[in-house]
Amino acid sequence: MATWLDGTDFARYALIPEELLPTWEGTEADEVMEEYVSALRMAGRDILTLGAEPLSITWLAKPLTFARWCYADDDTGLLSAVHAAGSADGWKDVLTLELGGRYVLADAAYEADRILGSLRHAQQPAEALRVELSPGRYRVQSLIVDPDPKTQFMLERLLPE
């Protein structure tokens, strides 16, 4: 089973470079609140944001994919659905950005102290996830998958360019 961030009050997650986390105030993503996938720049670094709905989210490191839980009884079919979707038609190019290094995925409205506290104390449910990416340019693509009539996940994958 994946580790899920259990929804967001703000309806927006941010993939924050770890070195910028101590200065994160929780208001940086305010201007992109309505978009499903977007990016901001902070201190010369790109920050990926995912949201517009308060869905639970997880990070799958091997396929470089974020999955948001639209509806499902559980996540047992998630990995097979993501792998099956890998070669599927319908992926929509959303944006391209520069990423690389250690990141933290968290509710974009949380302040640094709350995010850092969550990482230190490994609380349940989790409020932050660590993500590590090789440096480079990434294309972000989105796809909604319906592995069965009772299951739907929204996927955002990172494709190295």
Percentages of the chain per state (helix, strand, coil), in multiples of 5 = 15, 50, 35
Domain boundaries, the chain: 12-160
Token code pair at residue 28:
């940086």
Across 81-92, average pLDDT? 93
Specify the pLDDT at position 29: 87
Across 100-115, average pLDDT? 95
CA 79-124-143 angle, to 5 degrees, is 30
Q: Is residue 155 predicted with pLDDT exceeding 90?
A: yes
pTM over the 0.85 mark: yes
Token code pair at residue 159:
């494709």
3-state secondary structure of 147: strand
Q: Is residue 140 predicted with pLDDT exceeding 90?
A: yes
Average pLDDT of the chain to the nearest whole number: 91
Whole-number percent of the chain with pLDDT over 90: 73
